[in-house]
Amino acid sequence: MPRDVPARPRIAIVGANFAGLSAAQRLGSDHAVTVIDGSPWFEWRPGIHELVSGTSRAADLRLSRARLVSRAGHRFVRATVTDIDARAGRLTTSDDRQVEFDACIVAVGGVVNTFGVEGADRHAMPLKTVEDGVAIGRKLATLASGKGRKSVVIVGSGLEGIEVLGEILRRYRGRQSLHISVIEAGSRLMPGSPRALDQAVRAHCAGLDVDLLVRTAAAKVTRSRVQLAAGGSLRSDLTIWTAGATAPDLIRAAGLSGGKQPWAPVRKTLQSRNFDNVFVAGDANVLRPRLAKQAYYAMQTGQFAAINAMRAVAGRRLREFIPVPKPMLVAFGDLDTFLVSGRSVIASPTLAAAKEAVFQLTMAQVDPPIGAVQLRALTGRVARAVRR
């Protein structure tokens, strides 16, 4: 007579980029793991600004999710999750599949926040995914090859806004084809970062066809203009929206958000404050004190959520997450790279090599080069980096 095989605890992971994939790779085959994401590619989002200048290609920044998940020994479902019923331990996907779970790790990241600015959804181009970076790169190339000087407006001067400005300058400065305006609602560029960053970017832009406008907010975006909250408007043949992110609708729909807070509040165990069987990792969560929404924290919280999900399904006491802060590297095209650590900034174009090293090492960690496919991908990335 066959002996009863104990059922493996079921863990569902929603979203498989930095946080979700790190969680999946931490879980072993003693758990029945289902990983769900609407897109087929793991994407290196910290590098998408380089698509704008053509310095990187889409293929350099993407890895097949199905391959990475199956290599970790798990099941990959390509679908968007539309509902998570934590009480019932069941989620539903856009293609009406249902996945039952004992624990769920939600790692859905963020989506573009247009703050309700009229026309921004329709007329501005976001920079959040590889596809967005490619689309902006194409549009810029078309504008720059046309007749006359064209205007580009970048809304928001956070990390993404400054990195995309640097890439546009890398490719188009000196060609007299583009005028660029950056508008920032705060009182300086990269609000929340050391003042020296604002000064360094301004110094690089002096004498170039760039206007850096702070205390300036967009009120409406049309096909050819950005209207300003204080009155007046800027001509814009291309508006790039990098003004912020918010939580995907799923967070609120699943009851994971906290009051007015769109993101999902979590305990130090990364468990949702609302449901014990749901853990939230990466950009989608909000911890106290808050963590910067950065890929390295997404990977740390993803791995930790997996550890605690395993402990939870085994009925063991959960551990408390302790973040390991890292310095932030901000690229400014080929003009400069800034290393920001707390209130200190070091600037040097040679730091671009450090940013490249972080990319190469993390991609090799996500996709360890064991086997022909992975080795080919790694050598391709390194060869292109050397050429750059």
Nearest to 109 by CA among 43, 28, 193: 43
Nearest to 132 by CA among 47, 217, 65: 47
For ligand FAD, the binding residues in 238-267 under the rule CB under 6 A are 248, 250
Q: Considering only residues 46, 89, 158, 262, which one is a binding residue for ligand FAD as defined by CB under 6 A?
A: 46
Where does this chain touch ligand FAD (CB under 6 A) — which range of 42-50, 137-145, 225-233, 364-372? Answer: 42-50
Nearest to 278 by CA among 36, 21, 87: 87
Where does this chain touch ligand FAD (CB under 6 A) — which range of 108-116, 186-194, 218-226, 268-276? Answer: 108-116
Which one, 225 or 278, has the nearer CB to ligand FAD?
A: 278
- Interface pattern 286-305 for ligand FAD (x via CB under 6 A): -------xxxx-x-------
- Cβ atoms within 10 Å of 191's Cβ, excluding its own: 14
Position 259: which residue type?
Answer: G
Question: Strands 111-112, 245-246: parallel, antiparallel or unpaired by DSSP?
Answer: antiparallel
- Both tokens of 308, joined, read 């605690």
The whole-angstrom separation of Cα 218 and Cα 157 is 13
Residue keyed to tokens 């302790």: 322
For ligand FAD, the binding residues in 311-330 under the rule CB under 6 A are 329
Using CB under 6 A as the binding rule, whether residue 99 contacts ligand FAD is answered as no
The whole-angstrom separation of Cα 162 and Cα 192 is 14
Which one, 109 or 262, has the nearer CB to ligand FAD?
A: 109
Using CB under 6 A as the binding rule, whether residue 189 contacts ligand FAD is answered as no
Size of the site for ligand FAD (CB under 6 A): 37
Which one, 137 or 282, has the nearer CB to ligand FAD?
A: 282
Where does this chain touch ligand FAD (CB under 6 A) — which range of 18-26, 227-235, 310-318, 345-353? Answer: 18-26
- Both tokens of 98, joined, read 């249902």
The residues pairing with 365 across neighbouring beta strands, listed in sequence order, are none
Q: Give the DSSP letter of residue 118.
A: B
Q: Considering only residues 8, 10, 26, 38, which one is a binding residue for ligand FAD as defined by CB under 6 A?
A: 38
Position 296: which residue type?
Answer: Y
At its nearest, how many Å lie between ligand FAD and the CB of residue 2? 37
The whole-angstrom separation of Cα 100 and Cα 281 is 19
Where does this chain touch ligand FAD (CB under 6 A) — which range of 11-19, 224-232, 306-314, 334-342? Answer: 11-19
Nearest to 102 by CA among 33, 4, 201, 193: 33
Q: Considering only residues 159, 201, 291, 309, which one is a binding residue for ligand FAD as defined by CB under 6 A?
A: 159
Which one, 89 or 248, has the nearer CB to ligand FAD?
A: 248
At its nearest, how many Å lie between ligand FAD and the CB of residue 273? 18
- The number of CA neighbours under 13 Å toward the Cβ of 173 is 17
At its nearest, how many Å lie between ligand FAD and the CB of residue 56? 12
State residue 97 phi and psi, 5-degree precision: -85, 150
Using CB under 6 A as the binding rule, whether residue 18 contacts ligand FAD is answered as yes
Which one, 221 or 284, has the nearer CB to ligand FAD?
A: 284
Yes or no: say if 34 and 10 are a contact pair by the CB < 8 Å rule. yes
The whole-angstrom separation of Cα 266 and Cα 279 is 8
At its nearest, how many Å lie between ligand FAD and the CB of residue 26? 14
For ligand FAD, the binding residues in 123-152 under the rule CB under 6 A are 127-128
Using CB under 6 A as the binding rule, whether residue 107 contacts ligand FAD is answered as yes
Nearest to 152 by CA among 216, 210, 222: 210
Which one, 314 or 353, has the nearer CB to ligand FAD?
A: 353
What 3-state class would DSSP assign to 43?
strand
Q: Considering only residues 13, 17, 152, 333, which one is a binding residue for ligand FAD as defined by CB under 6 A?
A: 17
What 3-state class would DSSP assign to 88?
coil
At its nearest, how many Å lie between ligand FAD and the CB of residue 40? 10
- The number of CA neighbours under 13 Å toward the Cβ of 109 is 21
Using CB under 6 A as the binding rule, whether residue 19 contacts ligand FAD is answered as yes
At its nearest, how many Å lie between ligand FAD and the CB of residue 70? 17
Site residues (vs ligand FAD, CB under 6 A)? 14-20, 36-39, 45-46, 48-49, 80-81, 107-110, 127-128, 159-160, 163, 248, 250, 282-284, 293-296, 298, 329
